[in-house]
Amino acid sequence: MKSVTVIGLGPMGSAMAGAYLRDGYDVTVWNRTPARADELVARGARRAESVEAALTANELVVLSLTDYDAMDAILAQAPESALAGRTLANLTSDTPDRARRAAAWLAGRGAVQITGGVQVPPPAIGTPDAMTYYSGPEDAVEAHRAALEVLTGIDYLGADHGLAALYYQIGIDMFWTALLGYLHGQAVAEANGISAADFLPRAVKTMDLRYFLEFYAPRIAAGHHEGDVDRISMGVASLEHVLRTTRASGVDDSLPAAALEIFRRGVSAGHGQDSLTSLVGVLKRS
């Protein structure tokens, strides 16, 4: 019988447990707030009465928690013997170092960790284009490939347990930064009487950065930062215009001001006539 345990029933964990139920799995669930399991139990999931019972119910245990501190607190509720022989697909967000330390700790107790970083929101779990970064022992990933692919596709990065966490945090860095840019732009739009609905098609076009990513990535890889297409000094002038527009609109200017400061640091470092891509070096030195 196909079976799995899911620990952590926030929006993501609940979506994962639901996907397993739809695929015919025998699903055991546990959550610190037991009531969060009620809907899943009504759909056929088994409610574990303890962390130990959740761990020992199945070989594969999927963790979907806020961070590794939460994982440590939860696993501390069970005897270490409950971990022996388990594979923990740890889809919990945290730093690469925490992922490596957790994997070593689990290995010392007879368990295997597969580190994962889910690249989609909960509603996309189980959809064809969904993908998750995975790292850790390749044989463990392959042994549980069918179960993992119920949730998303697999982007396997290598044996280093920290790689999936690293790639995930890099993506989240870009995600929040880009969405903050959208929200700030929308705040300026609304301050000038432009609704989110009216601005949406323009926002979608502006936020489609594929052309720029594909143009800049090879140049960054080659160390080619000549200002033949764009220059940091041009960016400084542009962001100064954004800053003045923001202030005239009565909107908080801390986000564009921070961006302008990074561009000005690039100029101070001697890159005024170089491309935007030279800021990678400026940021790394920080």
Residue 178 structural domain: 167-285
Distance of alpha carbon 172 from alpha carbon 161, whole angstroms? 18
pTM of the model: 0.92
Q: Is the pLDDT of residue 216 over 90?
A: yes
**pLDDT for res 1:** 73
Q: Which of 91, 125, 160 is the last residue of a domain?
A: 160
Could you read off the pLDDT of 88-130 as tens digits, one per residue?
999 999 999 999 999 999 999 999 999 999 999 999 999 999 9
Percent of the chain at pLDDT above 90?
Answer: 99
pLDDT, the chain, mean: 97
Would you place residue 285 in the very low, low, confident or very high pLDDT band (cuts 50, 70, 90)?
confident
Supply the DSSP string of 60-115, one letter for each residue. EEEE--S-HHHHHHHHTTS-GGGGTT-EEEE-----HHHHHHHHHHHHTTT-EEEE
Q: Does residue 114 sit in the same domain as residue 199?
A: no
Q: Does residue 256 sit in the same domain as residue 117?
A: no
Could you read off the pLDDT of 21-34 as tens digits, one per residue?
999 999 999 999 99
Give yes or no for a contact between 151 and 176, defined as CB atoms under 8 angstroms apart: no
Rounded alpha-carbon distances, angstroms, from residue 73 to 88, 104, 105, 183, 261: 15, 17, 14, 35, 41
Supply the DSSP string of 203-234, one letter for each residue. HHHHH--HHHHHHHHHHHHHT--B-SS--HHH
Q: Which of 160, 187, 212 is the last residue of a domain?
A: 160
The total number of structural domains in the chain stands at: 2
Give yes or no for a contact between 283 and 261, defined as CB atoms under 8 angstroms apart: no
Strand 131-135 to 153-156 pairing: parallel
Q: Is the pLDDT of residue 286 over 90?
A: no
CB neighbours (10 Å) of residue 219?
Answer: 17
Q: Does residue 183 sit in the same domain as residue 206?
A: yes
Q: Does residue 118 sit in the same domain as residue 15?
A: yes
**pLDDT for res 51:** 98
Q: Does residue 65 sit in the same domain as residue 100?
A: yes
Q: Which of 128, 160, 192 is the last residue of a domain?
A: 160
